[in-house]
Amino acid sequence: MIISFEGIDGSGKSTQAKRLLDRLGASSLDVLYVREPGGTAVSERIRTLLLDPSLVMDPFAEMLLFSAARAQLVREKIRPFHEAGGIVICDRFFDSTVAYQGGGRQVADPDWLGDFQRVVTDGVVPDRTYLIRLDVATASQRLTERLGPGEAADRLESAGMAFFERVFNAYERLSASEPNRFVVINGQQSIDEVAAEVWADLLPTLPA
């Protein structure tokens, strides 16, 4: 089983992915956690480039770098673990590229970009995607609050409110287009409440 967590920066999706990792691990299930971009030596080097706030990057080049990192991650980690019967938890997957580079950067038609991402992943698609829905203003406030003294936002986090509004709307379209895969959860709730909703949905699908 492959489970992905999606949402705009500051939505709390990483916290929920790690919560689920801990809970599944405590159940003695075979679980792999991966983050995007990253998760392999190649993908982590690409991550450094993508998040470097000192770089000016063409949006289409940005999309291709995210895709390259994902292709490596799928072939090196996700597919082998999944085919061996394990559960994979993805902190972002290809929906992020459709939302961020398709919706936010507007680099390409979202339908084309979605089809391209399925080529990138060689047909690997999450079985369940949890979209943590949080309005842009609240997410922005959370991002500001979590920065330490002298710490700057990364290249994507500092893209601006209009950018994140487009990303938010792209996620809305994605979740509406695949209601059987997406579960939309109110990110205004407490961490425990969001985690409880995720667990209640996922539990019936887990191996006995």
Going by pLDDT thresholds of 50, 70 and 90, the confidence category of residue 9 is: very high
pLDDT at position 30: 94
Structurally, how many domains does the chain consist of? Answer: 1
Dihedral sign computed on CA atoms, order 154, 157, 160, 166: positive
Between these two residues, 33 and 156, which has the higher pLDDT value? 33
127's CB contacts (< 8 A; 6+ apart) are: 1, 2, 3, 181, 205
- The domain spanning residue 16 has which CATH number? 3.40.50.300
pLDDT at residue 153 above 80?
A: no
Can you tell me the distance from the alpha carbon of 56 to that of 195, in angstroms, rounded to the nearest whole number?
A: 37
Question: By percentage, how much of the chain surpasses pLDDT 70?
Answer: 97
How would you class 165 by CB atoms within 10 Å of its CB: exposed for 0-12, middle for 13-18, buried for 19 or more? middle
Going by pLDDT thresholds of 50, 70 and 90, the confidence category of residue 150 is: low
pLDDT at position 97: 97
The 10s digit of each residue's pLDDT in 67-80 is: 999 999 999 999 99
List, in sequence order, every beta strand (DSSP E) within the chain. 2-6, 31-35, 87-91, 128-133, 182-186
Residue 49's domain comprises 2-205
Q: What is the DSSP letter of 124?
A: -
